[in-house]
Amino acid sequence: MAKIENEAAYGGAEEQNEYVINIGPQHPSTHGVLRLVVTLQGEIVKNVQPHVGYIHRGIEKMCESITYPQIIHLTDRMDYLSAHMNNEAVCLAVENALEMEIPDRIKVIRTLMSELTRIQSHQLFWATYGMDMGGQTCFFYGLRDREKILDIFEETTGGRMIVSYNCLGGVMYDLHPNFRKRVKDFIKYFRSIIHEYDAILTGNIIFRERTMGIGPLTLDDAVSFGVTGPSGRASGFSCDIRKHAPYSAYDRVIFNEVLLTEGDTYSRYLVRMEEMKESMNIIDQLIDNIPEGAHAVKMKPVIKLPEGEYYQRVETARGELGVFIISDGNKNPCRVKFRSPNLVNLGVLNHISKEFKIADLIAIAGSLDFVIPDIDR
C-alpha cells in the first residue's frame, strides 16, 4: 500500500493491526463522488473520514454575482432529487422578504409538486438501497414506478429531474390539462403496487438481518448532530418543517409526521416507506381542490430585496434545507448560505458506523440517503 503523506487527515492507523482503505470517490455504493477513508481493524470499522468537495461548484459564491431569479436555477443542481423543494425554498425566501401575497392556486400547485418529488425521491432511495443490499430487482421496480412521476413532470414543466418549475411569484407554466388525471392514475396505480415493495425488500429476512440494530442513532445524538429528515425522524427527532413551520399549502392538509424511536438503519428505511404513503394522502386532499386563477403573480423586472437577513426553511426529501440570504438592498444578494441537509447528515456517519463491519458501513451510508452535489454545492 502506498504511503500516505498526511496521516492525520486520514483518521490515521493509530494502533497495530489497523489499516486504511479508500472507498470512492468512484464507487457504486457511494452514489456519487463521495470518498470515505475508512480505518479498519480486520473487518471492524474504527474510523470513517468523509472527504468531500469533488463537485464543489461554489454555488454560494456564484449567487453573490447573479440575480434572485437566476439563483433559483442553481438550486436544482444541489439536491437534484429534491429539485422542486430547493426552488421553492429560494422563492419563498424572496417572496416573504418582499412581503408578497401568494394566491392559493400557486401554493397548492407547489405543494402537489413537492409531494410528487418526495415520492419519486423515496422511490429512488428504495431502488438503490435495495441494490446496495444485493437486491437487483428493487432497482428495476423502483425506477419503473418513478418513471411515471417523471413523465408527469415532463408534461407540465418540460423537465424530468431538473424541473426549474418555480419562479418568483409563482410557477413557470400552468398545469398541463392532463395533470390531474395522470396524478390520480399514478396514485391509484402506486397504491395498488406498493405492497410489492414490502414483499420484496421490507420483509426479506436477509435484508432485515442486515439492517435491524445496525448503526443506531439516539435521539440526543440526532439533535446534537442536527440529523433531520427521515433519518432524524427514525430516531424520534420531530423535525418535520411541514409540521413545525408550515409553508405553501401544508397548513391546510392533514398528514402524520412519521416518527420512530429505534434509530437504526431499518427504521430510517421504514420512515421513508411510510412517508411515501403520507405524501399520497396529501396529494389526495389537494388534487381535486386546485383553486382557479393565474399560475404566477406579475413581478417587477428587477427584483431588489430590502436590506436585511432572511431565513427560509423547507422540508426536502432528505431533511431541512435552509436558505439564508443577507441583502444589502441590491439586485444581487450580499451573501447566500444553503443549509444543506446532506452535509449535516454526513457529519453523523463516523459516529454511527464505528465498531460495525465494513459491509454494514454500506448499509448505514445508504440509509442516510446522500445526494453528493448537495453536500458539495
Partner 1 sequence: MNTTETDMARFSELVKALVPEAEIHEGKQFAEITVPPASLLAAAEALKENPDTRCDYLINLTGVDYGTELGVIYHLGSSKHGQIIVLKTKTPERANPVLESVCGIWRTAEFHEREAYDLLGIRFSNHPDLRRLFLDDTWGFPLRKDYVDDTNTAANGEDRE
Using CB under 8 A, list all residues that contact partner 1. 9, 52-53, 56, 58, 60-62, 65-67, 70, 221, 223-226, 237-239, 244, 308-311, 313, 320, 322, 324, 326, 335, 337, 339, 343-344, 346-347, 351, 376
Report the residue number, 24 or 322, with the smaller CB distance to partner 1.
322
Backbone phi, then psi, for 229, in 5-degree steps?
Answer: 75, -165
Q: Minimum distance from CB of 271 to partner 1 (Å)?
A: 17
Nearest Cα residue to 363 out of 260, 259, 268 = 268
Report the residue number, 113 or 241, with the smaller CB distance to partner 1.
241
Q: Minimum distance from CB of 280 to partner 1 (Å)?
A: 27
CB-CB neighbours of 58 under 10 Å: 10
Report the residue number, 82 or 211, with the smaller CB distance to partner 1.
82
Nearest Cα residue to 98 out of 165, 164, 167, 169 = 169
Q: Where is 49: in which H helix or E strand?
A: strand 44-51
Report the residue number, 33 or 286, with the smaller CB distance to partner 1.
33
Q: Minimum distance from CB of 202 to partner 1 (Å)?
A: 28
Q: Minimum distance from CB of 25 to partner 1 (Å)?
A: 13
CB 362, CB 42: distance < 8 Å: no
Q: Minimum distance from CB of 345 to partner 1 (Å)?
A: 9
For the residues of 172-232, what is the DSSP string, one character each? SSPPPTTHHHHHHHHHHHHHHHHHHHIIIIIT-HHHHHHHTTSS---HHHHHHTT--HHHH
Report the residue number, 283 or 314, with the smaller CB distance to partner 1.
314
| Cα distance between residue 145 and residue 143, in whole Å | 5
| Cα distance between residue 289 and residue 361, in whole Å | 45
